[in-house]
Structure 1
C-alpha cells in the first residue's frame, strides 16, 4: 500500500518544516499544496526542505482548503497512491497519529477515516466552549444531511481516504472552503462508502478560529437543507424504494392533512364564534399523531441504514486484494 500525505499550505511557513519532519517513514509521498499563499509557502518549502518525499503543488489562485486538498487528491490518483492522509500545516494535527487513521483502511474496515475530538471527555477539556457548542450543532446537522449517524466532529480536517473511492467522487464539484469536510461526507454517502471516526485529542493554542459560527451558520443551514433533500431523493426515491420511503411519505401526508384540516376548522370556529366539537378535534389530531409516529419510524430506519461493507473492497484490483 502506497500512502501519501496532503498538506494544504497557506501562511504556515513557521510550522510546515516541523510537520514534514514529523511524518513517519511509512509515507511514500508528501504533497505540499501552495494555495496561492501570499507568504510563498511553496517556494519556502522548495528552498528549505530536505525530505525527498516532498512534492510541492501550486494552485494559481486561492481555492480554499477544499480546493487545495482536491489538488492533492488528483495528484495522488494520477501517481498511483492507495491512501491519502490530509494533515494541516499549522502543527495542530499530530503526524504520529497517522497509523491510527490508516489502519482501518489497510484492514478493509473502512473507506474513509476522520478525527473525532469528542470521543473522550478528556479530549474536549481544552476546547473553547464556543467551539464545543458550534461543533456539536454542526455534528447534528451533518448527521441529518449526510446520513452518517455514527460520526461526530464533522469539521475535523484530519482525514484518510482510499484513492479508489476518491476516484469515484466528482472531485471538481466538492465545496472549496469551510463546508468541504461535510460535503465529502455527503458525497461518500451517495456511494455508500464506510466512514469511521478515529479518537484524537484537540490541540489549541491562543489563535483565533477563522470559522465564525454566527457568520457561517445561515450558509451552513442552507447547504445542509439542500443536501438533506438530495440525499432523501437519491436514497429513498431514485436508487431505492423501501419501507423508509413509505414511512416518510405517509407520515408527511398525514401531518399535512391533519394540520390543514385542523387549521381550517380552527379558523371557521374563530370566525363563527362556535367552538369545534371534540370529534372535529380528534379528526385533526389523529392523523398528526400517526404521521409523527411514521416520521419517527423513518428516522429510526435512516439511523439503522448505515453502510457496512467498504466500497474499496469491490473497487480495488484483484492483485491488491490478494496481497491484503
Structure 2
C-alpha cells in the first residue's frame, strides 16, 4: 500500500444491530476513517454504535428518512470526499463480508489497475456450494442482465456490495441520479461505464449465518428488468451516438431493422400460406430469410464490438494523497 494513502470505510446500517460492532472491530488499522450511516434504522444502530464502540475512527451519520442502501452509501461517499479520503470501501453491516479482505479491494486501485473494485462470490467453485440455490439462480439472471445494461461483460455477481472506489471517480458520480434502493450496485456499474471507469472483480467468499437479507430476488426481477432495459438504451445512446460514433453505431440499428423486416414479412406470408394452404414461393422465403440472416450478423457484430470496448484505461491521472489539485481525466 502506498505511503500516505487515506482509506475510508462506509457501512450502511439498517437492522444490523446484532453484527455491526463486530464488523467495526474487524476493520484493520490501515483504515483511517469509518463512516457508519444510520439509515433511519428502527434498531437505532447509530446510538448503539455510539454506546458500544470506542473506536476513534468511527463517524456516525444519520438519516432522518430511510433512503435505502444507495442513499446511505452516497452519504458516506460525500463525507469521505469532503474529508479528502483517497479510497472509499463499502462494507455491509450484517457480517457477511470479511473486513480482513479489504486490502484485496484497495490494492488494484492503488496500483492503477482499476478505478472501482467489487466482490465476486462465484470465482471459487468450491465456495459456490455455500451459497443458497435461490440466490445462486437469481444472481445468474441479474448478472446476465447487468452485463448487457452496464457494458461490463466480464463481471459477475452484480449485487455484491463489497466495493472500493477511488475518490476522483466517486466525486464525478451523479449522486442525485443513482438508484437509492436495491438496484444501487447495478446502477453504479452503468454510471461507471458512462465515466469509462475500469472495474475489476475481486474473488471473495461470503458467510451465511443468521442474518436476514432484505433483498428478495423474486420480487425485484421485474423492476430490475425494466431498469436494466432503460440503462441499456441510455448507455447505447451515450456511448455510440452522443459521445462518439463508429461502425457499431450503424450495425445495431441496421441489424434491428433488417431482422424486424424479415421476421414481419416472412410472418405475414406464412400466415397467408397457412390460410390458403398454398406454400410460399421460394423467392418469398428467401426475401424474408436473407434480411433476418443479415440483421443477426449485424447485431452479433455490434455485440462483439461492445464487448471489445469495455473500459481498460484507469481514469484518474495520478495518485497523490496530499494534492488538492488531483483530478480525474474526464
The TM-score, its normalising length taken from structure 2, stands at 0.93
- Contact (CA 8 Å) 1:147, 1:189: kept in 2 or not? yes
> CA 1:316/1:145 → structure 2, altered by over 3 Å: closer, same or farther?
farther
Other-structure match for 2:264:
260
Task: Report the structure, 1 or 2, having the larger helix content.
Answer: 1
Match of 1:144 among 148, 161, 167: 148
Q: Which residue of 2 aligns with 1:135?
A: 139
Q: Is residue 237 from structure 1 mapped to residue 241 from structure 2 by the alignment?
A: yes
Root-mean-square deviation (CA), in Å? 1.8
* Distance in 2 (alpha carbons) for counterparts of 1:260 and 1:17: 61
Q: Are 1:82 and 2:119 matched, yes or no?
A: no
Whole-Å separation in 2 of the counterparts to 1:41 and 1:211: 19
CA distance in 1, matches of 2:299, 2:282: 26
Residues 71 and 318 of structure 1, relative CA distance in 2, 3 Å threshold? closer
1:104 aligns with 2:108: yes
Query: Distance in 1 between the 2:45 and 2:324 partners?
Result: 36
Tell me the TM-score normalized by structure 1.
Answer: 0.95
| Stretch deviating more after TM superposition (203-212 or 229-238) | 203-212
39, 44, 50: which one pairs with 2:48?
44
* Cα separation, 1, equivalents of 2:196 and 2:140: 24
- Runs of 5+ unmatched residues, structure 2: none
Alignment partners' CA distance in 2, 1:295 and 1:16: 48
In 1: Cα distance, 2:164 partner to 2:39 partner: 20
Contact 2:95 2:207 in 1 (8 A): no
Cα displacement string for residues 69-100 of structure 1 (whole angstroms, at most 9, x for unaligned residues): 11101101111111110011111111100000
| Alignment correspondent of 2:224 | 220
Structure 2 residue aligned with 1:205: 209
Please tell me whether the aligned partners of residues 12 and 39 of structure 2 are also in contact (alpha carbons under 8 angstroms). Answer: yes
Q: Distance in 1 between matches of 2:196 and 2:93?
A: 30
Q: Which runs of 5+ in 1 are unaligned?
A: none
**Contact 1:6 1:31 survives alignment (8 Å):** yes
Structure 2 Cα separation of the partners of residues 317 and 24 of structure 1 = 20
Deviations 1:266-308 (A, max 9, x none): 3433454432101110111011011111111111111111101
Partner of 2:284: 280
Aligned length: 322
Give me the whole-angstrom Cα distance separating, in 2, the residues matched to 1:318 and 1:70. Answer: 23
For structure 1, which segment, 38-47 or 306-315, has the greater mean C-alpha deviation from structure 2 after superposition? 306-315
Task: Kindly report which structure 2 residues correspond to 1:1-324, keeping only aligned pairs within 5 A, or say none.
Answer: 1-313=5-317, 319=323
Residue pair 1:114, 1:156 contacting (<8 A) in 2 also: yes
Q: CA shift at 1:319, angstroms?
A: 4.6
What is the CA–CA distance in structure 2 between the aligned matches of 1:100 and 1:7, rounded to whole Å? 18
With over 3 angstroms needed to count, the CA separation of the structure-2 counterparts of 1:271 and 1:13, relative to structure 1, is closer
For 1:268 and 1:290, the matched residues in 2 are separated by: 24
CA 1:55/1:207 → structure 2, altered by over 3 Å: closer, same or farther?
Answer: closer
Residues 47, 185 of structure 1: alpha-carbon distance in 2 compared, 3 angstrom cutoff: same
The answer to whether the 8 Å contact 1:313/1:321 transfers is no
